[in-house]
Copies of this chain bind each other. A is one copy, B any other.
Amino acid sequence: MRERIPVAVLGATGMVGQWFVRLLSRHPWFELVAVAASERSAGKPYGKAVRWIFPEEVPEGVRELPVVPPEPGIPGKIVFSALPAAVAGQVEEGFARAGYVVSSNARSHRYDPDVPLLVAEVNPDHLELIELQRRNRGWKGFIVTGGNCSTVQLVLALEPLRRRFGVEAVVVTTMQALSGAGFSGVPGNAILDNVLPHIPGEEEKMAREPKKMWGKLTPEGIEETGVRISAHCHRVATRDGHLEAVSVKLSRPAAREEIVEALENFRGLPQELGLPSAPKQPIVVRSEPDRPQPRLDREVGGGMSVVVGRIRPCPVLDWRMEVLGHNTVRGAAGGAILNAELVVAKGLV
């Protein structure tokens, strides 16, 4: 790839926005040429407008970029959206209409029948919806969305089992990191010496998104699958990395070694295509009794792998396991970048 593709980030000063900036600043295919955020920040150089959350400095080259309003006309062919859901819907449509490729982390368009809800290793064929989307809406550009952070890692971890044994039902309890709520989303006063047993909307997303991700592509859109997901969502005092305790009911019997083998050997289209953000091994299996742990395992594969451990029989459903994923990388910015890489590799940009 000779020239890098110009890209922009919408909502660039928030937590996920900053992850986009960080990951894009060293990207081999993409060149970050614009950072957009709400009016309050507009006009300032990004390095002044942002309350940078990472140890290293704001990347050179981005530091001086002026923050612009998130409106079509800004430079870039691809825009990555970390906008809050309240505004993402309309703004993203405006960009798609104007010819941009939108890779979104917002939930606004996830359930639109002609918008792919994409986990690059899981349902890359859903990109065919783009044609339908353009036809339906008369847009030059299009929108691709990624799933909710806690869904993405679950669906990715279960994908090899679904392919080989079928997945009928899942009971999953999440212990989600603070970063999933944005930088200021959870007060220290609320979480110190505490667990919050509720994350608004999260259980509903976890129940519904997999039905579409695992759904069948038809000429009219995605036919949702009937998988049943029962999610219990919690916020705990970790910084990054969602841990999920999973009980799963399979369609066909599976032996433990078959499960381990299926997970470890799983490779998706991003791995076949050698996409820059694709981890070599999407699913890493640990055999120690006390892994995965958020602090120790969240960075595996640059935060793009999911780590699975404690695979053992379930006395109620069929199998139990622990699944860990980096919520702001695989579950947000990194996932959306991988989706965009797939879009590029498919020749859609």
A interface, CB within 8 angstroms of B: 15, 53-55, 169-171, 173, 175, 178-179, 183-198, 200, 207, 228-230, 232, 234, 236-239, 243, 245, 247, 249, 289-300, 309-310, 314-317, 320, 322
Contact = CB atoms under 8 A, between A and B. Distances in A.
Contacts of A195: 175, 236, 238, 243, 293-294
Nearest to A249: B316
Contact of A197 (B228, B230, B292): B292
- Most chain B Cβ neighbours within 10 Å, of A171, A196, A292, A298: A171
Contacts of A309: 197
19 contacts: A169-B315, A170-B316, A171-B317, A173-B245, A178-B188, A178-B192, A186-B187, A187-B188, A192-B192, A192-B193, A193-B193, A194-B296, A195-B243, A196-B293, A197-B245, A198-B310, A207-B315, A236-B236, A236-B237
A198 B312 CA distance: 12
A238 B183 contact: no
B322 A171 contact: no
Given A55-B295, A179-B189, A190-B183, A290 B230 contact: no
Contacts of A317: 171, 230, 316
B290 A198 contact: yes
B230 A315 contact: yes
Nearest to A229: B315
B171 A295 contact: no
A187 B193 contact: no
A239 B188 CA distance: 8
Given A173-B173, A186-B187, A232-B247, 4 more contacts: A55-B298, A183-B189, A197-B293, A230-B315
Given A197-B245, A317-B230, A236 B295 contact: no
Contacts of A294: 193-195
Given A196-B293, A198-B310, A316-B317, A53 B230 contact: no
Contacts of A249: 316
A173 B169 CA distance: 17
B193 A238 contact: yes
Nearest to A292: B197
Contacts of A191: 188
Contacts of A207: 315
A217 B30 CA distance: 58
A183 B239 CA distance: 19
A296 B55 contact: yes
A187 B15 CA distance: 13
A320 B232 contact: yes
Q: Which 9 A-B pairs have the closest CB atoms?
A: A173-B173, A232-B245, A198-B290, A230-B316, A194-B295, A184-B187, A228-B315, A173-B245, A186-B188
